[in-house]
Structure formats: C-alpha cells, structure tokens
C-alpha cells in the first residue's frame, strides 16, 4: 500500500523471515516496515534504516514530515517494526502450548535476530549497503549489527544508545537506580509540592484496594513506575500534571486511573518488560536484577522507579500475566549467546557517529563512553542539552551534526 499525506509519501513493505535464522527451513514470521519519503525530493535516494528504541517498541507512526524532515531531505527512510511489534507478527502467549515453549520462542526476539531480519530485508530490497539511525535500544542493535554484518552498513548514527559491551543486568540496574534517584530529586526541586502529592496517592493505595478501569489493582509499586518518564524532555511536566489532577474530592479521579492504566499496562508492547533485562544477558542469568538490587530508599512513599522490570508485574498487570512462567524461565537462563564482538568492533571501519546524553536516565553515559573508546572509527558527541528523546525533540540539531561527524573526518 502507498499513500501520500501532507509532506510525506508512505509505502508499506512486508517480509517473511525465519523465526530462527539458523534454521531457514523452519517456522516463519512476518516483519513489517514502512518506507517514508519527501515527495518533493526526487531521484534515487540512499536508504536510511531507523532502528526504534525499546525493546519491544514498534516504529513511530508518521503523520507528516515532523522530526523526520532533516533525514527526508537526503534519504528515503525505512521504519522497521522490529519482530514481535506493531504490524509484524505479534507475540502472544496463546501461541505456545507451555511456558517452556513460549520461553523458547521469545529467545528469538533479541538484537541478534533483529539484525538478521535487517539483512534479509536489505537484500530483498536490493540495497548494497545502507545507513542506520539507532535511537536508544536501536543503538544497541547497531552495535550488534556492526559485530555481525558490517558489510551491510555504509554509516551508522546512534542517539542515546551506546551499550556497555560486557555490562550485565546487575551493572546496568545498579547504575540506573542512581540516575533515577537523581531525576526524582530534581523533579521535587522543580515541583516541591509533588513530593507530598505522591505520598498522598501512595498512602491511599497502601491503605485500601483501588482498581483500575480494566480490573487490575493499582498498587504502590505500580504507581511508582510512573517515574519511568522522568528521563524524557517533558517527563517532569507530565508527571507533575498527573499528580496535580489525581484527585476528585477525596477519591482518585477516573481520569487519573485511566491514564495510569494506559501508561503502565503494556497492552501493545508486552515484549518491553519481557525483554527488559534480557537485552543485557550474555552468558549469565539476569535473575530479576532490578528486584534484587532495589535500594531501601526506593520503598519510600514519595519515591518513583524507572525503566525496570520486576517479577510482581507479571502477577499484577493483565497484559503481562500470560508471560509469567516464560519470564521466570528466561530470567533463570544462563546460556545466552554474546550480542557484541569486541574484537570486530575494535577493528570497525564503518563510520559511526553517536550522541551521548550526559544526564540520560535510561542509558548510562559512563558505560556509553567506555564503549565509544573501544569501537573503531566511532566519533562521539557528549551533551547535556537534551534528554533521552533528543532525536524526537531536536532532530533539526542532532541529524545535521551527526551527519557531519560521519562525513567530515576532522
């Protein structure tokens, strides 16, 4: 299907790929991708593959040029619905006969499989080599791509997503809690009244049973996960207004409860929590790192958590309950293959430009800079001007700078 909307032309692509690329004759799944172009820019433009953040997130749905404008001036852009997301074959627990079967199926949804899908798509489209733009987890995929199939890459751009090459889930969670604590403190400095407001909500949830519109109980732990958005450019403001409008008289408002249900329900992206710690698994088991390393002060009523997966989620959140048994098996697995090849990355010749957000809540800047020093032909820009969503909020600044870093060796 091909449609034109104001300032943009959209064409759909569907590809059939092996579930397990090591078994090309076995089970297959569908992977969907959306090509976008500026109809005013003609000619045989080079391709740019956009790798979405996540894990488990579908590609952005364009409504016009928006923040894609700087890229569309020079490229046709392919927005990939990574396997299991969006219009690609969905992941549902009903497709498996047992927890073990579902866990085995889910092992095929990490970065290595996504890279193999990308290579399948590149060849199917007849592209010699393409550029990539990796946002957040898309940067993790980029490093796996450079480790496994650099011949398919002409240049890579990473926005807020350089992973620690050997960092474990324990390493990442310990560092993340420190950054979340700092973000929460900064929020309360900006909006001092919000600390008492958060405590009031938490005290009500601890003292009585409050149900969300879908029937799930809103617990203190689930309420705390609203802090996940504090790493975005407008996250502090969004949390402030949620707290300011949480009450209708002496009860929590219907609008607040509906908003919390939608924000914390993972109805459209259960893979986000299923895979959250597994993207760091290389050999060792993750064993619910965020739960084990939860600092004592995060039990305070005024404290929020961030981008962490907890076992209670698979009991208390409707969309995640069917994945509980498989998630337990995956958390205990200790035979994960490596996602990165440090030697191949050190010898890398593909031009790479990366922006590291100094105050990033989701991706540790220290680990990112350690990785940047270990990858050949990689140039890094460190800034505190933007939060994690800098690409979406300021593409007109970020795209030209990263492009120059790739093309200009100075």
Catalytic residues: 136, 335, 388
For residues 202 and 180, give the distance between their C-alpha atoms in angstroms, rounded to a whole number.
18
99-106 and 324-332 helices, crossing angle to 10°: 60
Q: Determine what percent of the chain falls in helix, strand and coil, rounding each to the nearest 5.
A: 45, 15, 40
Number of residues that this document lists for the chain: 410
For residues 178 and 189, give the distance between their C-alpha atoms in angstroms, rounded to a whole number.
17
With a CB cutoff of 8 Å and minimum separation 6, the contacts of 251 are: none
With a CB cutoff of 8 Å and minimum separation 6, the contacts of 214 are: 261, 265, 318
For residues 309 and 280, give the distance between their C-alpha atoms in angstroms, rounded to a whole number.
13
For residues 224 and 341, give the distance between their C-alpha atoms in angstroms, rounded to a whole number.
37
Which of 201, 308, 307 is closest to 259 using CA atoms?
201
Which of 201, 219, 172, 209 is closest to 313 using CA atoms?
219
Number of H helices, E strands in the chain: 17, 11
For residues 294 and 93, give the distance between their C-alpha atoms in angstroms, rounded to a whole number.
28
Question: What are residue 11's DSSP bridge partners?
Answer: 2, 35
Taking CA atoms, 316 is separated from 14, 207, 382, in Å, by 35, 17, 39
Question: What are residue 10's DSSP bridge partners?
Answer: 3, 36
With a CB cutoff of 8 Å and minimum separation 6, the contacts of 234 are: none
* DSSP for residue 358: T
The widest CA-to-CA distance across the chain, in whole angstroms, is 64
For residues 138 and 136, give the distance between their C-alpha atoms in angstroms, rounded to a whole number.
5
């Amino acid at each position: 299907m091909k449609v034109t909307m104001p300032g943009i032309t959209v064409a759909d692509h569907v590809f059939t790929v092996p579930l397990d690329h090591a078994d090309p004759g076995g089970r297959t799944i569908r992977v969907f991708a959306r090509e976008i172009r500026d109809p005013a820019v003609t000619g045989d433009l080079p391709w740019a593959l956009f790798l979405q953040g996540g894990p488990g997130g579908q590609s952005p749905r364009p409504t016009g040029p928006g923040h894609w404008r700087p890229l569309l001036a020079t490229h046709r852009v392919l927005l990939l619905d990574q396997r299991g997301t969006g219009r690609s074959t969905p992941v549902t627990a009903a497709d498996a006969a047992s927890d073990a079967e579902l866990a085995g199926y889910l092992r095929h949804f990490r970065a290595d499989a996504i890279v193999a899908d990308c290579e399948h798509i590149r060849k199917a489209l007849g592209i010699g080599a393409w550029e990539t733009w990796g946002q957040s987890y898309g940067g993790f995929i980029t490093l796996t791509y450079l480790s496994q199939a650099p011949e398919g890459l002409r240049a890579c751009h990473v926005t807020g997503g350089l992973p620690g090459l050997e960092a474990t889930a324990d390493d990442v969670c310990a560092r993340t809690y420190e950054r979340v604590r700092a973000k929460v403190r900064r929020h309360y400095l900006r909006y001092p009244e919000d600390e008492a407001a958060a405590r009031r909500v938490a005290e009500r949830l601890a003292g009585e049973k409050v149900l969300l519109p879908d029937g799930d109980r809103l617990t203190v732990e689930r309420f705390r996960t609203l802090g996940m958005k504090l790493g975005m450019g407008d996250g502090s403001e969004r949390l402030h207004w949620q707290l300011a409008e949480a009450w209708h008289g002496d009860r929590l408002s219907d609008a607040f409860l509906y908003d919390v249900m939608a924000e914390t329900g993972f109805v459209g992206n259960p893979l986000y929590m299923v895979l959250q710690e597994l993207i760091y698994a290389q050999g060792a088991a993750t064993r619910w790192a965020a739960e084990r390393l939860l600092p004592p002060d995060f039990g305070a009523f005024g404290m929020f958590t961030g981008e962490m997966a907890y076992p209670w989620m698979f009991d208390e959140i409707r969309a995640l309950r069917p994945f509980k048994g498989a998630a337990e098996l995956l958390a205990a697995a200790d035979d994960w293959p490596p996602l990165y090849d440090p030697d191949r990355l050190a010898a890398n010749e593909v031009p790479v430009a990366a922006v590291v957000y100094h105050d990033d809540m989701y991706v540790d800047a220290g680990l990112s800079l350690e990785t940047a020093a270990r990858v050949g032909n990689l140039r890094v820009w460190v800034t505190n001007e933007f939060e994690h969503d800098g690409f979406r909020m300021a593409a007109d600044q970020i795209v030209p700078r990263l492009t120059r870093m790739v093309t200009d060796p100075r």
